[in-house]
Structure 1
Amino acid sequence: MSYVDGFVCPVPEDKLGEYRRMAKKAGKIWMELGALSYHECVADDVKPGKVTSFPQAVKLKPGEVVVFSWIVYKNRRERDRIMKKVMEHPGFAEWSDPKNLPFDGKRMFFGGFKPIVEY
């Protein structure tokens, strides 16, 4: 079975172009280092819930949109190897400073997942 990293973050609508440029560069790095696929999606039909939701989870503010991303790897061991290389990659260094991110990294959440159904 594969392994998946998932990410959700709030992005200011006026910085969505900047985010897209960052994501394209990041995606190339992940793919170059061995990820099987890399996906970045912007909310289109995502509403606040009564108890919880994507907007509530990231404490979405007016003028922001939710971005949902995932990266697929061959397995957990490959993910750990690739993630280590990503963090050491010179192209990734500019994002190590939160001031260089086009979103509030404090409101981003992420994690690794073992698939239970795959087609």
Structure 2
Amino acid sequence: MISPVPVANKEAYRAAAQAQAPLLIEQGALRVVDTWGDDVPPGETTDFQRAVATKADETIGFSFIEWPSRKVRDDAWNILMKDPRIAPDPKIWDASRSIMGGFEPVVDL
């Protein structure tokens, strides 16, 4: 997931990610990684900022969850989407501008 996050909310974003990671692991996730944009330059044609319509006071939060299979992921999301602890907090970041998707590995070294 790629999300626009106000720079001032870095600690709140980190704390929310830290609190949600165990919930994902409980449902079968193998790995949960949340990152903070510190070198996300603008592009000439497209870039992360335009993709999620960042504002001047925002940076990019990039997250990914590794699942053992799509079935485990789908089953987990059915449970997690009913859990209010996993819902994004609009006081921390605007989830409506986030980009999400599922991807199948093609190289895994």
Equivalent in the alignment of 2:27? 33
> C-alpha separation between the residues in 1 aligned to 2:97 and 2:29?
25
Match of 1:116 among 81, 100, 106: 106
Change in 2 beyond 3 A, CA 1:90/1:108 = closer
Q: In the alignment, residue 58 of structure 1 is paired with which amino acid?
A: V
Query: Could you report, residue by residue, the CA deviation over 1:13-66 in whole angstroms, capped at 9, with x for unpaired residues?
Result: 111111111111111110111100000011121111011111111111111110
Following the alignment from structure 1 to structure 2, what is the Cα–Cα distance between the partners of residues 90 and 46? 31
| Superposition TM-score, scaled by structure 2 size | 0.91
Which of 91, 94, 104 is the aligned partner of 1:104? 94
DSSP-derived class of the 2:78 partner: helix
Aligned residue pairs: how many?
A: 109
Please give the TM-score of this superposition, normalised by the length of structure 1: 0.84
Distance 1:90 1:56, change over 3 A: closer
| Structure 1: unaligned runs, 5 residues or longer | 1-6
Displacement over 2 Å in runs of 4+: 88-92
Secondary structure of 1:69's counterpart equals: strand
Q: Is the 8 A contact 1:12 1:103 kept in 2?
A: yes
Q: What is the aligned counterpart of 2:56 among 51, 62, 68? A: 62
Q: Percent identity?
A: 33
Give how far 1:90 is off. Answer: 5.0
